[in-house]
């Protein structure tokens, strides 16, 4: 019987070394392999979209939204595009003897010499964490990772209190995910459902209907609906709407288009339905969301 992950936060005092965001602007084309590497630090990598894979210690794993990788120092890793992700590199406890390594550039951190695991209670606190977890609430994970990434992009390693708190929150959340047994599903329908999920994430503005999604998965509508909900955690239509609202948020922050224009760009044919869905999922109107962001 596997040990229950404790993640006793009092033993962990993370030092964040790097936080990055792999996205459509910097992800290699489909089929391109990232250089193989051996991890130097502890890592959290959250997939936000993907149609590629990541090999870890010889084990192949598909990349799709919500899949989280937890890595320890000394693991052999190679990614195969395309996928987008947040990735956070950290030490469980700041070690003054490693300061020169902490200050290395990004490529040094990712492709440098092999690291060693932190000894003692800190390492024991995360010992039972699995290497891969399919998260229950992708939106929550993405929001927390995005906050941490943006703070690092703004001030680098300066605000370690904020960064440390963010990593601790992620580790505690990982513990809850692990206890809830959201490890990769062995269901025979898993691959087909994840392929449909990736199609939605890749182009949420497409005119998706339940019959069309079921056809892509090779299932009847009723069977597809039940299997999709079991694997992803919510119904297909709810997931499509959530993906469209994520896209709408990007348009609201990066363009000056009206809410009506953005609704159509994101695949909503009814503007009132867009407003209702946006407020239900975010707690505010589209215009209020734009105002608060600035």
Locate 88 and state its tokens: 């956070």
What range defines the domain where residue 227 resides?
A: 190-293
In this structure, the answer to whether residues 150 and 23 fall within a common structural domain is: yes
User: Is residue 246 in a domain?
Assistant: yes
- The mean pLDDT value of the chain amounts to 84
Domain final residue, candidates 120, 145, 179: 179
Res 85: pLDDT: 95
Find the mean pLDDT for residues 83-108.
Answer: 81
User: Is residue 185 in a domain?
Assistant: no
Find the mean pLDDT for residues 150-164.
Answer: 91
pTM for this model (two decimals): 0.69
In this structure, the answer to whether residues 175 and 210 fall within a common structural domain is: no
Locate 47 and state its tokens: 């997939």
User: Is residue 2 in a domain?
Assistant: no
In this structure, the answer to whether residues 121 and 161 fall within a common structural domain is: yes
Domain final residue, candidates 179, 205, 225: 179
Res 10: pLDDT: 62
In this structure, the answer to whether residues 163 and 217 fall within a common structural domain is: no
Locate 80 and state its tokens: 């195969």
How far is CA 6 from each of CA 46, 53, 89, 131, rounded to the nearest angstrom? 21, 29, 21, 15
In this structure, the answer to whether residues 47 and 137 fall within a common structural domain is: yes
Split at pLDDT 50, 70, 90, the class of 31 is: confident
User: Is residue 1 in a domain?
Assistant: no
Task: Identify which has the larger pLDDT, 106 or 67.
Answer: 67
Locate 283 and state its tokens: 């707690």
Instruction: Please name the residues in contact with 226: beta carbons below 8 A apart, sequence gap of 6 or more.
Output: none
User: Is residue 3 in a domain?
Assistant: no
Spatial separation of the C-alpha atoms in residues 156 and 229, rounded to whole Å = 39
Question: Which pLDDT tens digit goes with each residue over 240-268?
Answer: 998 999 899 889 988 889 999 999 999 99
Domain final residue, candidates 179, 210, 230: 179
Locate 250 and state its tokens: 């990007």
Whose tokens are 């290497």? That residue is 131
DSSP string across the chain: -PPPP---GGG-B-EEEEEEEE-TTTPPPTTPBPPPEE--SEEEEEEEEESSEEEETTEEEE--TTEEEEE-TT-EEEEESSEEEEEEEEESB--GGGHHHHTS-HHHHHHSS---PPPSHHHHHTTT--SEEE-S-HHHHHHHHHHHHHHHHHHTTS-HHHHHHHHHHHHHHHHHHHHTT-PPP--TTHHHHHHHHHHHHH-TTS---HHHHHHHHTS-HHHHHHHHHHHHSS-HHHHHHHHHHHHHHHHHHH----HHHHHHHTT-S-HHHHHHHHHHHHSS-HHHHHHHH-
Domain CATH number, residue 19? 2.60.120.10
Percent of residues, the chain, with pLDDT higher than 70: 86
- Which of 1-6's residues contact partners 24+ apart within 8 Å by CB, and which partners? 2/128, 3/127, 3/128, 4/128, 4/179, 5/126, 5/127, 5/128, 5/129, 5/174, 5/175, 5/178, 5/179, 6/124, 6/125, 6/128, 6/175
Burial state string for 225-253 with b = 16 or more CB within 10 A and e = fewer than 16: bebbeebbbeebeebbbbbbbbbbbebbe
User: Is residue 4 in a domain?
Assistant: no
Find the mean pLDDT for residues 112-117.
Answer: 46
Say if residue 232's pLDDT is above 90: no
Question: Which pLDDT tens digit goes with each residue over 191-205?
Answer: 889 889 888 988 899
In this structure, the answer to whether residues 173 and 60 fall within a common structural domain is: yes
Domain CATH number, residue 216? 1.10.10.60
In this structure, the answer to whether residues 67 and 135 fall within a common structural domain is: yes
In this structure, the answer to whether residues 145 and 213 fall within a common structural domain is: no
In this structure, the answer to whether residues 164 and 223 fall within a common structural domain is: no
In this structure, the answer to whether residues 199 and 174 fall within a common structural domain is: no
Whose tokens are 């809830």? That residue is 180
Find the mean pLDDT for residues 81-89.
Answer: 94
Number of compact structural domains in the chain: 2
Say if residue 108's pLDDT is above 60: no
In this structure, the answer to whether residues 105 and 203 fall within a common structural domain is: no
In this structure, the answer to whether residues 43 and 145 fall within a common structural domain is: yes
Residue among 194, 190, 171, 174 nearest 182 (CA): 174
């Amino acid at each position: 019987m596997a040990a229950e992950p404790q993640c006793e936060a009092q033993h962990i005092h993370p030092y964040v070394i790097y936080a990055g965001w792999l996205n459509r602007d910097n992800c290699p084309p489909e089929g391109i392999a990232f250089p193989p590497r051996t991890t130097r630090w502890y890592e959290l990598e959250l997939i936000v979209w993907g149609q590629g894979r990541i090999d870890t210690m010889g084990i192949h794993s598909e990349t799709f939204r919500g899949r989280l990788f937890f890595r320890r120092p000394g693991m052999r890793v190679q990614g195969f595009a395309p996928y987008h992700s947040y990735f956070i590199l950290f030490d469980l406890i700041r070690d003054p003897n490693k300061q020169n390594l902490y200050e290395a550039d990004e490529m040094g951190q990712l492709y440098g010499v092999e690291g060693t695991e932190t000894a003692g209670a800190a390492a024991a606190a995360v010992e039972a964490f699995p290497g891969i977890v399919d998260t229950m609430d992708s939106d929550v994970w993405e929001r927390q990772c995005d906050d941490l990434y943006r703070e690092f992009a703004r001030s680098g390693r300066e605000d370690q209190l904020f960064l440390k708190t963010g990593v601790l929150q992620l580790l505690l959340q990982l513990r809850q995910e692990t206890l809830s047994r959201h490890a990769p599903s062995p269901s025979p329908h898993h691959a087909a459902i994840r392929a449909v999920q990736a199609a939605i994430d890749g182009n949420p503005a497409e005119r998706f209907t339940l019959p069309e999604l079921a056809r892509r998965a090779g299932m009847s509508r009723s069977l597809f609906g039940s299997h999709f909900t079991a694997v992803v955690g919510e119904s297909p239509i709810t997931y499509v709407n959530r993906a469209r609202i994520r896209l709408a948020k990007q348009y609201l922050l990066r363009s000056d288009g009206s809410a009506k224009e953005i609704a159509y760009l994101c695949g909503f044919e009814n503007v009132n339905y867009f407003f209702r869905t946006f407020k239900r999922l975010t707690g505010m109107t589209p215009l209020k969301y734009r105002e608060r962001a600035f």
